[in-house]
Copies of this chain bind each other. A is one copy, B any other.
Amino acid sequence: MRSETAIRALGALAQEHRLAAFRLLVEAGPTGLAAGALAERLAIAPSSLSFHLAQLANAGLVAQVRQGRSIIYTADFAAMGALVGYLTENCCEGASCSSAVAMPAACC
Protein backbone atom coordinates (compact mmCIF):
# COMPACT_ATOMS: atom_id res chain seq x y z
CA MET A 1 0.00 0.00 0.00
CA ARG A 2 1.32 3.41 -0.91
CA SER A 3 1.49 6.00 1.82
CA GLU A 4 -0.87 8.23 -0.13
CA THR A 5 -3.48 5.49 -0.03
CA ALA A 6 -2.92 5.02 3.68
CA ILE A 7 -3.36 8.75 4.29
CA ARG A 8 -6.69 8.74 2.48
CA ALA A 9 -7.87 5.75 4.50
CA LEU A 10 -6.68 7.23 7.78
CA GLY A 11 -8.34 10.53 6.96
CA ALA A 12 -11.55 8.79 6.04
CA LEU A 13 -11.70 7.09 9.43
CA ALA A 14 -10.57 10.12 11.42
CA GLN A 15 -14.02 11.59 11.84
CA GLU A 16 -16.69 10.79 14.38
CA HIS A 17 -19.53 10.09 11.97
CA ARG A 18 -17.43 8.24 9.42
CA LEU A 19 -15.80 6.00 12.00
CA ALA A 20 -19.21 5.25 13.47
CA ALA A 21 -20.63 4.54 10.02
CA PHE A 22 -17.79 2.22 9.17
CA ARG A 23 -18.17 0.35 12.45
CA LEU A 24 -21.86 -0.13 11.77
CA LEU A 25 -21.02 -1.50 8.34
CA VAL A 26 -18.46 -3.88 9.84
CA GLU A 27 -21.05 -5.03 12.34
CA ALA A 28 -23.57 -5.50 9.55
CA GLY A 29 -21.16 -7.75 7.66
CA PRO A 30 -21.48 -8.69 3.99
CA THR A 31 -25.17 -7.84 4.01
CA GLY A 32 -24.37 -4.18 4.49
CA LEU A 33 -26.73 -1.35 5.26
CA ALA A 34 -28.75 1.09 3.19
CA ALA A 35 -27.74 4.75 3.27
CA GLY A 36 -31.04 5.66 4.86
CA ALA A 37 -30.60 3.15 7.66
CA LEU A 38 -27.15 4.54 8.36
CA ALA A 39 -28.41 8.13 8.41
CA GLU A 40 -31.13 7.19 10.85
CA ARG A 41 -28.79 5.32 13.18
CA LEU A 42 -26.23 8.08 13.11
CA ALA A 43 -28.87 10.79 13.42
CA ILE A 44 -27.38 13.00 10.74
CA ALA A 45 -28.86 14.61 7.64
CA PRO A 46 -28.91 12.38 4.54
CA SER A 47 -26.85 14.88 2.58
CA SER A 48 -24.20 14.91 5.31
CA LEU A 49 -24.05 11.15 5.26
CA SER A 50 -23.67 11.16 1.50
CA PHE A 51 -20.69 13.44 1.88
CA HIS A 52 -19.09 11.10 4.42
CA LEU A 53 -19.85 7.93 2.50
CA ALA A 54 -18.25 9.47 -0.56
CA GLN A 55 -15.05 9.93 1.40
CA LEU A 56 -15.11 6.37 2.68
CA ALA A 57 -15.74 5.15 -0.86
CA ASN A 58 -12.97 7.34 -2.24
CA ALA A 59 -10.62 5.77 0.28
CA GLY A 60 -11.76 2.35 -0.88
CA LEU A 61 -13.06 1.40 2.55
CA VAL A 62 -16.64 0.83 1.48
CA ALA A 63 -18.40 -0.48 -1.60
CA GLN A 64 -21.85 0.48 -2.80
CA VAL A 65 -24.47 -1.30 -4.83
CA ARG A 66 -27.92 -0.15 -5.78
CA GLN A 67 -30.77 -2.39 -4.70
CA GLY A 68 -34.08 -1.05 -5.82
CA ARG A 69 -34.49 2.44 -4.47
CA SER A 70 -31.86 1.94 -1.81
CA ILE A 71 -28.11 2.02 -2.10
CA ILE A 72 -26.47 -0.63 0.05
CA TYR A 73 -23.07 0.07 1.51
CA THR A 74 -20.70 -2.63 2.69
CA ALA A 75 -17.36 -2.47 4.47
CA ASP A 76 -14.36 -3.55 2.43
CA PHE A 77 -12.50 -5.82 4.81
CA ALA A 78 -9.57 -6.31 2.49
CA ALA A 79 -8.94 -2.57 2.36
CA MET A 80 -9.16 -2.36 6.13
CA GLY A 81 -6.77 -5.27 6.43
CA ALA A 82 -4.36 -3.57 4.07
CA LEU A 83 -4.45 -0.46 6.23
CA VAL A 84 -3.78 -2.43 9.41
CA GLY A 85 -0.98 -4.20 7.57
CA TYR A 86 0.51 -0.91 6.46
CA LEU A 87 0.45 0.48 9.99
CA THR A 88 1.95 -2.69 11.41
CA GLU A 89 4.74 -2.81 8.86
CA ASN A 90 5.63 0.85 8.64
CA CYS A 91 4.78 2.17 12.05
CA CYS A 92 5.39 -0.76 14.39
CA GLU A 93 8.82 -1.89 13.28
CA GLY A 94 7.18 -4.76 11.45
CA ALA A 95 6.14 -6.45 14.66
CA SER A 96 2.65 -6.73 16.00
CA CYS A 97 3.16 -4.07 18.59
CA SER A 98 0.04 -4.79 20.61
CA SER A 99 1.70 -4.34 23.95
CA ALA A 100 0.81 -6.99 26.49
CA VAL A 101 0.42 -10.28 24.68
CA ALA A 102 3.41 -12.08 23.25
CA MET A 103 2.94 -13.20 19.67
CA PRO A 104 4.40 -16.18 17.87
CA ALA A 105 6.98 -15.03 15.37
CA ALA A 106 5.12 -16.12 12.26
CA CYS A 107 2.01 -14.28 13.36
CA CYS A 108 0.96 -10.91 11.82
Establish whether residues B10 and A13, one from each chain, have CB atoms under 8 Å apart when the complex forms: yes
- Is A90 an interface residue, CB under 8 A from the partner? yes
A92 near B107 with CB under 8 A, answer no
Cα-based distance from A38 to B70 in the complex (angstroms): 49
The reply to whether the CB of A99 lies closer than 8 angstroms to some CB of chain B is: yes
Which residues of chain A (1-57) have a CB below 8 Å from chain B? 3-4, 6-7, 10-11, 13-16, 19-20, 22-23, 26, 29
* Interface residue count on the A side (C-beta < 8 Å): 39
Interface residues of A in 84-108 (CB under 8 A from B): 84-85, 87-88, 90-93, 96-99, 103-104, 107-108
Whether the Cβ atoms of B3 and A7 lie closer than 8 Å is: no
Look across to chain B and name the residue whose beta carbon is closest to the beta carbon of A27: B93
Q: Contact at A91–B26, with CB atoms within 8 Å?
A: yes
Nearest-neighbour CB distance to chain B for A103, whole angstroms, equals 7
List the 8 shortest-distance A-B pairs measured between CB atoms, nearest first. A10-B14, A11-B14, A81-B97, A81-B98, A107-B107, A85-B98, A81-B99, A77-B97
